[in-house]
Amino acid sequence: MRALFRFLYRTDRTPANPARGVRTPRSASELPPYLTRAQADSLFERLDELSAMADDLDEPVRIRRARNRAIVELFYSSGLRLSELHALDLDSVDLRERHLRARGKGSKERIVPVGSNALEAMASYLGLTGRARPAGRSGTRPESSSGDPLFTTTTGRRLSRRQIQRVVQGILEGVPGAEGLSPHALRHSFATHLLDEGADLMAVRELLGHASLSTTRVYTHTSKERLLEAYRKAHPRAD
């Protein structure tokens, strides 16, 4: 409409431009999909079941299941982007110091802590593959991830992003209400659950590798919605 009235005014077909002060309506920002705490519990219960079922299976299947568990644990434990997890090399992870080095957008590198469950899952996976467990930091890696990949196929090649997506989506299919969610939902769950438990917004921003605090603030809306819903349900005079 603004373009139309600019044209009409410019060609003297209207004496004024009534659309000059009309602003573009802002589209409603959608909250990113995430797992509830109950769904997260169901997810890791499912991983426990899959791990228990793998004991009597062939070694390649045990390795694949251990790898898949480590991938899911790491997504939820450290809030990595898909591209960041895909690019991880063996020397990106320090099991002893309990952190990893992630290369985010703009090739910016950051140190991200890793939880005990994810560390245990990675150690189990690497133990099955017979590869050396990463223990210390090496020199700076080149921007192209050309080192020894952390997560590999059965032939030793780096898992592609699409393969990682299929791994995560296949596991989430078994979690009620989480069908169809992507690996990014685990990153959103990581941030949401931290803020729900009182984590500092600036700290969460650093963990996620956001350049702007406004990008991180979307998760506070998710947490506020939960608080409001709990208030409405529990307070006798909420309505």
Name which of 88, 84, 116 is nearest 187 in CA terms.
84
Which is it for strands 93-94 and 99-103: parallel, antiparallel or unpaired? Answer: antiparallel
Counting Cβ atoms within 10 Å, is residue 107 exposed (0-12), middle (13-18) or buried (19+)? exposed
Q: Pick left, alpha or beta for residue 130 (phi over 0 → left; psi -120 to 50 → alpha; otherwise beta).
A: left
What CA–CA distances, in Å, run from 235 to 12, 223, 225, 229? 62, 18, 15, 10
61-95 burial, b for 16+ CB within 10 Å, e for fewer?
ebbbbbbbbbbbbbbbbbbbbbebbbbbbbbbbbb
Counting Cβ atoms within 10 Å, is residue 121 exposed (0-12), middle (13-18) or buried (19+)? buried
Residues 197 and 174: their CA atoms lie apart, in Å, by 26
CA 56 to chain centroid, in Å, comes to 32
Q: Alpha-carbon Rg of the chain, whole angstroms?
A: 23
**Residue positions annotated with a catalytic role:** 81, 105, 184, 187, 210, 219
